[in-house]
Structures are given as C-alpha cells and as structure tokens.
Structure 1
Amino acid sequence: MSPRHIAPLLLVMTLLAAGGALAQDKGSVSPKPLPPLANPNDPEVAAKELFARKLLPSKGSAHVIGSYTKGCIGGADQMPVNGDHWQVMRLSRNRSYGHPEMIALIKRLAARAHKNAGWPGILVGDIAQPR
C-alpha cells in the first residue's frame, strides 16, 4: 500500500476506534459537598481529598502556597458567575475561585476581547477550587 493511502486509512481507523464520545457532564447550578471521609485525620488521606470537600475559601488576605502543580490558595476570590463580557461555566464543579489579581485579569481580558475583537463574551472554565 502506498504512503498516500496509509494516512487516510489511519484517520478512519482512529475515528472508528474513538466511538461515540460522551459529552461533558453539564452539572448543576448548586455545588454539592462530597460525602464525609471515614477518618479525615488519617495521615494516608491525600490533601486533595480534604481540600475538595471545602465549598468556601479560607478567610484572610490572598496568599499562594506552593506552585501551580502542587499548591493551594488562601483568601481566594470567587469570579462572579455573569459579567458584561463573561460567563462562568460548570458551576457545580465549584472551581471559579482564584487570586484577586487573577480574577481582575480575567475581567480585563474579557472587556478587551469584546472591545478590540468584537467578541460577545468569553466562557470561563476551571480557575481553581476555593482553597
């Protein structure tokens, strides 16, 4: 078989193997807490399991601990659900929190995209969990 026939064949095989992909879960408007852990004080419980159960940010000034791959935030702000030029998606995931400077940046970006490029608005996905 010639090389020019192999590429289309591979494409068709890939599409057939993918099957019917399911759409993302649309979620709900209200975040629901995860079920309580059997023993939250167990040192084997991962931090991500503890933090994912918090629905609100911690009090105090905004401060970041760690890095974007292994870190958390204290004193986060929540991105408003709707704005003049943005809308937050998947509210049930409860991931619309961020450092106040990040929230301000997203708002400025949305306004500039509307003004300079004529975008009707941007959709904001996951920013971060409350903590």
Structure 2
Amino acid sequence: MTDQDPRADLVRRALAMTAGADPAELESVFTEDVTFTTPALFVAGRAELAAELALRDTIMSDLGVDIGTIGIDGDSGWAEWVVTAQFASDLSVDDGDERTTVVQAVGRPVRLEGATAVAFDGDRISALRQYWDEVALLDALGLLPGD
C-alpha cells in the first residue's frame, strides 16, 4: 500500500514528534513499550522517549521535518525525510565517566536526510528505527578532519 493507508498519518505524526513537534500526543501515536533506535540511541518505552524528546528540545532549535515518500505494508512501514535544525546549546555525550562536549553551540545549521522504518501494533507504532548518513552529519557539524 502507499501513503493513502490511514496509518501513514501515524508515521507523519511520529516523525513530527521526533523532529520537533510537541510530544504531548505520544500516547495516541506510540504503544507504552515503544522502542526508538537511531545510530546513536536506543530508547525503550514512552516515558524514555518523552524524556529524550525533551532533551532534544534543549539542544536544538528551529527544528523542521520535510517528509517525503511513505510506504505501508502489513504491520510495517517506512518514510524518507529531511530534518533541518540549529544547535541552540552545546551537544555533549556521556562517555561513561563524565559528559564531554562534542559540539559547541555556534548556531550552525544542520540538514540531515534519512529514513525511518516503523512497526505497527494495532493503531499505534510499537517501534521506530531511524537511519541517516552519519558522515554527512559529522561534516555538517564541522567534526571531520580538516574542518
């Protein structure tokens, strides 16, 4: 099926939430035990997802998502997207001992193309897996050698 499937709207809403929309509607889109996986993150459950989205909102501003093609097939689906954002505060990572600043907030714009695969459980999403070109992200952040 195509993006005419009613669940395509769930995919649109999920992507909007993960790219800057108000996460208050999580319950209507995601199952309680939803998993969310990216190249740098694994979240289990709506509560963890809500906390991660709140953290994202403190790091990035002017988030936008342009959703391209959406496909639905049985209990799974996918979407292509482009996200744009500005870094509003330093991006830090936990290296196990302490938080290390990786990118200082300098108002650098980021444009990231990617895709998301989803699994449905009834009328809600039970899993999201997002993929993108990590090298392109590092380049946009000025983290590649020679930048």
Q: TM-score range by the shorter chain?
A: under 0.3
Q: TM-score scaled to structure 2, two decimals?
A: 0.24
TM-score by length of 1: 0.26
Q: Judging by fraction of residues, say which structure has more strand.
A: 2
Larger Rg: 1
